[in-house]
Amino acid sequence: QFSFQENGWGASLAERLTRKCDVVNRGLSGYNTRWAKLILPRLISKSTGAESTVAVTIFFGANDSALKDLNPKQHVPLEEYAANLKSMIQYLKSVDVTEDRIILITPPPLQESAWEKECLAKGDKLNRRNATTGEYAQACVQVARDCGTDVLDLWTLMQKNQDFSSYLSDGLHLSTKGNSFLAAQLWSCLEKKLSALPSLLPYWRDVDHTNPEASLLCDPLQ
């Protein structure tokens, strides 16, 4: 949901793809795969032009991996998390979004000390663990292998930088630097899928101002 805030990774992709295609945000703060699986048909269907969809990202795990005893509302067991991801992939395929257009994104790592401060400020205990989040990230990677989709292993990639805390604003959510990192990594996955997309309508200097209809109303396929 926050990907379209200032400096968000969704906004960054939308800017890169201006006049190429629309970037549609269907992220929902706090949701897990159990809930997302239920509402996905409302978000993407054949009637919403799924056949013209260039790519779909599925980015879950930070909430599913919350500790069951401390955050039962968001927690989803590991095996169900993997099954839910597979279910969403199968649904997308049923509405003509093929696996080569699906990109799974693992949850980012958790910086426990920073997130514990956020929890304590609300009177709660630390309700997530980085090692547990890592198990969900591994499951996400395995689902991608099993289903033939692309995957962006954010949990592993971010921890290649030993001090990954700068990627997170509060230990859990992405900071400006984290958003930029995700946007850059995702662009590497998307670039090959999007390189052949033509620009929508000619550049303004190329429009014949004496006869704009000839430039703007012609069929580019003819």
Q: What is the pLDDT of residues 25-60, one digit of tens each?
A: 999 999 999 999 999 999 988 776 666 888 999 999
Classify residue 173 as left (phi > 0), alpha (psi -120 to 50) or beta: beta
Of 103, 121, 107, nearest to 64 (Cα)?
Answer: 107
The reported pLDDT for the residue numbered 199 is 82
Averaged confidence pLDDT in the chain:
91
- Give the pLDDT of residue 38: 97
Q: Is 80 exposed, middle or buried (0-12, 13-18, 19+ CB in 10 A)?
A: middle
pLDDT of 137 reads 98
Residues 11, 176: Cα–Cα separation, whole Å: 12
Q: Locate all alpha helices (DSSP H) within 17-100, ordered by sequence.
A: 33-43, 78-94
**End-to-end CA, the chain:** 40
Measured over the CA atoms of residue 49, residue 99, residue 130 and residue 160, the dihedral's sign is: negative
Q: How many whole angstroms separate alpha carbon 41 and alpha carbon 185?
A: 28
Q: Tens digit of pLDDT for each residue in 6-31?
A: 889 999 999 988 888 889 999 999 99
- Identify the DSSP state of 44: S
Domains of the chain: 9-217 (3.40.50.1110)
Q: Which two tokens stand for residue 77?
A: 């067991």
State the pLDDT at residue 49: 65
Q: In angstroms, rounded to a whole number, what is the distance separating the alpha carbons of residues 193 and 165?
A: 31
> What residues have CB less than 8 Å from 91, skipping those under 6 apart?
37, 40, 41
What span, in angstroms and rounded, lies between the C-alpha atoms of 184 and 152?
11
Name residues of the chain where pLDDT drops below 70. Answer: 48-51, 219-222
Tokens 């030993």: give the residue.
162
